[in-house]
Amino acid sequence: MAQHAGYSRWCYNWGLSLWNAAYTDGYKPNARKLREVFTNHAKPLYPWMKNLSSRVYQYAFRNLGEAFKRFFKGLGKHPRFKKKGKHNSFTIDNCGKPIELNGWNHKLPFIGWVQTYEPIEARTKKSRQAGDWYLSLSYEFTPTSTPKTTEVVGVDLGVKTLATLSTGVVFSGAKSYKKFENKLSRLQYLNRNKIIGSANWQKAQLKIARLHRRIANIRKDTLHKLTTHLAKNHGSVVIEDLNVSGMLANHKLAKSIADQGFYEFRRQLEYKTQWYGSELVVVDRFFPSSKTCSNCGHVQDMPLHLRTYDCPECGLSIDRDLNASINLRDAVGSVVNACG
Ligand SMILES: [Zn+2]
């Protein structure tokens, strides 16, 4: 990476000094001419350049050309030399193809495998102006404790809604991408009679794939918003240790659990609570959070179709998920107190 950044800086500075010299001699340089001189006369003199991606110098000269364009239009200062340590960057691309970023390990063209601290789910996009592909990644993060508005929060993950918090805050998961899901099933339906492999079929497949990605992105975004909200604003976050494999055996639940990504939810909470100075408390999966009255402790069966908890003992009538989240919050009162 450092070599490529050095290469990029070297080319930019070389181009700039040549540009300046040519200009004082009465020539009108441009990025294309610089590149020609470089490839024909300068590059052969430096064998080390052969080991680095040629996209780097192409972009360096293009950037220099753009900088001069801005300067001539009065939009920017005269381009200056880049300094080591201050300008450690370079641009490469995948020769027209997008770069897929999935998880922690990414294969970058020419650079090879790199590992990121945080998983990244992204696909480099095509730039409209230049007609090329680029990826910009800037990442630095220092964990800092944030002020907490609530000491303890219980979180009930649900089927109907993504999460219900004991504070009354509700994160509805499915709503945001419901309309796209409807669109998706419509597209799949319309595609049913197309000949597989035909141009029309391929077009439709691309549309379907895009929609899939869009839905996945919305879902990821919602989950991140939820876990960030929890870790940032609450001293302790109490969740249930869900027996996901047992629940997946139930087909009705399977889809929505897979959808909501419970594992991912817990994983995000684990690191985000560390980032923001809160703690994650996981309650035993046999804790009857749904069946217990959060007011008097009465226990009764609560089949899934019952959306409201009606307590025959104390008369409490409360949303099923909210009741469960309050139980989770209260379940660890002693634990929390012990930790101060
Ligand atoms: Zn009760």
Q: What is the structure's pLDDT at 260?
A: 55
Q: What is the structure's pLDDT at 334?
A: 45
- 121, amino acid identity: E
182 and 245 within one domain: yes
Determine contact, residues 155/163, Cβ cutoff 8 Å. Answer: yes
266 part of a folded domain:
yes
Among 273, 241, 261, 220, smallest CA distance to 102 is for 220
In terms of residue numbers, what domain contains 200? 150-338
265 and 171 within one domain: yes
d(CA 268, CA 246): 22
pLDDT confidence of 268, banded at 50, 70, 90?
very high
Residues 6+ apart with CB under 8 A from 11: 38, 56, 57, 60, 61
Q: Which residue has the higher pLDDT, 39 or 201?
A: 39
Kindly give the distance from the C-alpha atom of residue 294 to the centroid of ligand 1, in angstroms, as a whole number: 7
The whole-chain average pLDDT of the chain stands at 81
Kindly give the distance from the C-alpha atom of residue 57 to the centroid of ligand 1, in angstroms, as a whole number: 72
Active site residue 25: no
- The last residue of one of the domains, among 72, 91, 118, is 72
d(CA 131, CA 170): 43
For 319, counting Cβ atoms within 10 Å of its Cβ (0-12 exposed, 13-18 middle, 19+ buried), the class is middle
Kindly give the distance from the C-alpha atom of residue 340 to the centroid of ligand 1, in angstroms, as a whole number: 29
Kindly give the distance from the C-alpha atom of residue 306 to the centroid of ligand 1, in angstroms, as a whole number: 16
Strand order in the sheet with 234-240: 170-171, 163-165, 150-157, 234-240, 279-283
106 and 160 within one domain: no
pLDDT digits (tens, 9 = 90+) for 62-115: 999 999 998 998 888 899 999 876 677 788 777 767 777 777 787 888 888 877
Determine contact, residues 239/284, Cβ cutoff 8 Å. Answer: no
pLDDT digits (tens, 9 = 90+) for 20-36: 999 899 888 999 999 99
pLDDT confidence of 292, banded at 50, 70, 90?
very high
pLDDT digits (tens, 9 = 90+) for 190-239: 888 888 778 888 888 888 877 887 777 787 788 889 999 999 999 999 99
- Whether the predicted pLDDT of 261 surpasses 50: yes
Question: Judging by DSSP bridges, how do beta strands 234-240 and 150-157 pair with one another?
Answer: parallel
Q: Which of 46-50, 178-182, 246-250, 275-279 has the lowest mean pLDDT?
A: 246-250
- The residue from 121, 156, 221, 310 that is catalytic is 156
Share of the chain above pLDDT 90, in %: 38
**For the packed helices 54-72 and 2-24, what is the interaxial angle rounded to 10 degrees?**
40
94 part of a folded domain:
no
181 part of a folded domain:
yes
Q: Which of 5-14, 194-203, 265-274, 331-340 has the lowest mean pLDDT?
A: 331-340
pLDDT digits (tens, 9 = 90+) for 127-139: 333 223 334 543 3
pTM over 0.85: no
Kindly give the distance from the C-alpha atom of residue 311 to the centroid of ligand 1, in angstroms, as a whole number: 5
Kindly give the distance from the C-alpha atom of residue 148 to the centroid of ligand 1, in angstroms, as a whole number: 30
Active site residue 156: yes
Share of the chain above pLDDT 70, in %: 81
- The residue from 140, 240, 313, 319 that is catalytic is 240
Q: What is the structure's pLDDT at 251?
A: 57
Kindly give the distance from the C-alpha atom of residue 317 to the centroid of ligand 1, in angstroms, as a whole number: 8
- The last residue of one of the domains, among 134, 159, 187, is 134
Kindly give the distance from the C-alpha atom of residue 163 to the centroid of ligand 1, in angstroms, as a whole number: 23
As for how many domains the chain has, the answer is: 3
Determine contact, residues 219/257, Cβ cutoff 8 Å. Answer: no
119 and 64 within one domain: no
